[in-house]
């Protein structure tokens, strides 16, 4: 895995609620603080590799159940910006 991928994965696996809220605002993703806290809980410490399609789909499925399918789609678009 290249350095760039490691940095992105490390950041996402250790993101705080405040950081997630900032990214959501920056990329026009509608998410409440309580939802952000649940998403962070689902991500933190799990060593999820968003460059792995199966791991990303599993995480997005969890995000959809926490927030909404529309929010998960928006998050996926954000992940795609990071991975392309």
- Residue 67 pLDDT > 80, yes or no? yes
Domain count, the chain: 1
Domain around 10? 3-83
**pLDDT for the residue 56:** 92
Q: Count Cβ atoms below 10 Å from residue 69 Cβ, excluding itself.
A: 12
**pLDDT for the residue 79:** 83
Q: Are 13 and 54 in contact (CB under 8 A)?
A: no
SS3 per-residue string spanning 7-40: HHHHHHHCCCHHHHHHHHHHCCCCCCHHHHHHHH
- Residue 1 pLDDT > 80, yes or no? no
Q: Are 40 and 17 in contact (CB under 8 A)?
A: yes
Write out pLDDT tens, residues 7-56. 989 998 999 999 989 988 998 888 889 888 988 988 888 899 999 999 99
**pLDDT for the residue 17:** 93
């Amino acid at each position: 895995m290249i350095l760039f991928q490691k940095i992105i994965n490390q950041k996402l696996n250790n993101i705080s609620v405040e950081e997630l809220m900032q990214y959501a605002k920056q990329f026009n993703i509608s998410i409440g603080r309580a939802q952000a806290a649940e998403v962070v809980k689902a991500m933190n410490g799990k060593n999820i590799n968003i460059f792995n399609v199966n791991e990303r789909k599993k995480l997005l499925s969890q995000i959809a159940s926490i927030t909404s399918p529309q929010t998960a789609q928006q998050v996926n678009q954000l992940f795609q910006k990071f991975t392309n």
